[in-house]
Amino acid sequence: MSEFQSLGLAASLIEALNRAALTEPTPIQSQAIPLALAGHDVLGLAQTGTGKTFAFGLPLIHHLLSAQGKPAPKSARALILAPTRELVNQIADSLRVLTTGGHLRVATVVGGQSINRQIGVLSKGTDILVATPGRLIDLMEREAVLLGSVTHLVLDEADQMLDLGFIHALRKIAPRLGTPRQTMLFSATMPKQMEELSRAYLKDPKRVQVAPPGKAADKVTQSVHFVDKNDKPTKLREILSRDRDALTLVFARTKHGAERLMKGLKADGFNAASIHGNKSQGQRDRAIKAFRDGEITVLVATDVAARGIDIPGVAYVVNFDLPEVPDNYVHRIGRTARAGREGEAIAFCCAEEVDLLRQIQKLMKIDIPVASGVMPKAVAPSSPSRGPRGGQGHGRGGQGQGAGRRGGAKAPAAFTGEKSGGARRRRGRSAA
């Protein structure tokens, strides 16, 4: 008997898990699933890559299997909110693994795709709706979706949604939901606002925590290179050249910086692509698929990809620019060492980023090992930050992360896509 079966899940779910060769629940799953099956509201805290999707997805589907009849037109029985398009798609794909061959339907609504097509899908009703908050509100305003039948609500990666102004969206969405309902909130970090959110929207929740908030997965090996900002491209090329066949995810702070970096890497012979807010959803989906399939080995991304990329084969995460929100560092490096594998997280830190590094280390309660260089004296950034949270604002498609400070000065031409001594760099204002 599989360990999942001992949790009390429906037979069809056990069969789906067996088909996927999954027999042993992760710690967050073994603790959260019984509580959710018993009908409790759940507040779950765990690092990225530890199986949070099935921790809420399995009990959610178990409950819905007993629902009578088909969902009414425009309605949904369960709503899952997530901050980014990529995460919405990843959650939906995971849930479809569990519902294949059954009668439950899973639908997604995100920004960047045809709203008319989404209206058509919702007109038939769905059992599980996975959505970014902004697009869901667009559909609510058009009366294309009715939420009064929702008896299960899941808030996934709620800390990032708080950063994006999600609390304002939730105030519009929550009053439309059915009652009574079960609410589950999952996150990798626990900012103070999360406590307020849980008190407002969860009823006597059971708290499940399998690692201290801000802690990286155990099998992630971390290191930091202290480099001058002008030397970052050279250091990146050196690191990528060590293992050209390994899947490497490189994080840049701005969408314009990510695109320039990707073009420079391609010019230098690296098999690279990029995803950021200036890419269409189709372009982003194709880049992620090519990365997952190994057709490209270097994916340059902004924080739009820090959550929602569930690719077990990612061997390295490189923080070309340190994030202005320390929590985002945890989510970035959580893209490697997934599903029990080992991974390596490499950070670059220039003088303008020393304070950011200190904030990250304070959050994680560790000193990241130094791989090269000496910590420089902190200096003020070249342009002012856009606020204490890095200028992040709510985006209608669940995106909208602002860039705050510029990441890095002018790099060599091979890494910027510019001509030698080229034109003045355009400032990137949005990291999504």
Does pLDDT of 346 surpass 90? Answer: yes
Tens digit of each residue's pLDDT (9 = 90 or more) over 279-319: 887 888 899 899 989 999 999 999 876 566 778 789 999 99
When pLDDT is cut at 50, 70 and 90, the band that residue 393 belongs to is very low
Residue matched to tokens 């759940």:
42
Please name the residues in contact with 327: beta carbons below 8 A apart, sequence gap of 6 or more.
159, 160, 163, 188, 189, 191, 214, 363
Does pLDDT of 320 surpass 90? Answer: yes
When pLDDT is cut at 50, 70 and 90, the band that residue 421 belongs to is very low
Tens digit of each residue's pLDDT (9 = 90 or more) over 49-78: 778 999 999 999 999 998 888 999 999 999
Tens digit of each residue's pLDDT (9 = 90 or more) over 93-143: 999 999 988 899 999 999 888 999 999 999 999 999 999 999 999 999 999
> What pLDDT score does 216 carry?
58
Tell which wins on pLDDT, 418 or 137.
Answer: 137
Tens digit of each residue's pLDDT (9 = 90 or more) over 362-388: 988 899 999 999 999 888 776 544 433
Section 226-231 average pLDDT: 96
Q: Are strands 76-81 and 126-131 parallel, antiparallel or unpaired?
A: parallel
- Between the two ends of the chain, the Cα-to-Cα distance in Å is 45
When pLDDT is cut at 50, 70 and 90, the band that residue 409 belongs to is very low
Does pLDDT of 48 surpass 90? Answer: no
Percent of the chain at pLDDT above 90? 57
Number of separate helices (H) and strands (E) present in the chain = 15, 14
Whole-number Å distance between alpha carbons of 252 and 236: 12
- Please provide the average confidence, as pLDDT, over all residues in the chain: 83
Whole-number Å distance between alpha carbons of 407 and 256: 10
> What pLDDT score does 305 carry?
60
> What pLDDT score does 382 carry?
61
When pLDDT is cut at 50, 70 and 90, the band that residue 395 belongs to is very low
Residue matched to tokens 């200190």:
358
Does pLDDT of 241 surpass 90? Answer: yes
> What pLDDT score does 386 carry?
41
Q: What is the DSSP string of 68-130?
A: -SPPPTTBEEEEEE-SSHHHHHHHHHHHHHHHTTSS--EEEE-TTS-HHHHHHHHTT-EEEEE
Section 6-19 average pLDDT: 93
> What pLDDT score does 1 carry?
43
The token pair at 196 is: 């307020």
Tens digit of each residue's pLDDT (9 = 90 or more) over 168-201: 888 899 999 999 999 999 987 777 777 788 888 8
Whole-number Å distance between alpha carbons of 225 and 368: 10
Does pLDDT of 396 surpass 60? Answer: no
The token pair at 284 is: 């982003």
Range in 148-152, 264-268, 392-396, 426-430 with the lowest mean pLDDT? 426-430
When pLDDT is cut at 50, 70 and 90, the band that residue 217 belongs to is low
Does pLDDT of 256 surpass 80? Answer: yes
> What pLDDT score does 282 carry?
84
> What pLDDT score does 8 carry?
92
Does pLDDT of 404 surpass 90? Answer: no
When pLDDT is cut at 50, 70 and 90, the band that residue 415 belongs to is very low
What is the pTM (predicted TM-score) of this model?
A: 0.67
Task: Name the region of 342 (left: φ>0; alpha: ψ -120 to 50; beta: rest).
Answer: beta
Does pLDDT of 227 surpass 70? Answer: yes
Q: Which domains, ranges and CATH numbers included, belong to the chain?
A: 5-209 (3.40.50.300), 220-416 (3.40.50.300)
Q: 405 and 381 in contact (C-beta within 8 Å)?
A: yes
Whole-number Å distance between alpha carbons of 365 and 424: 39
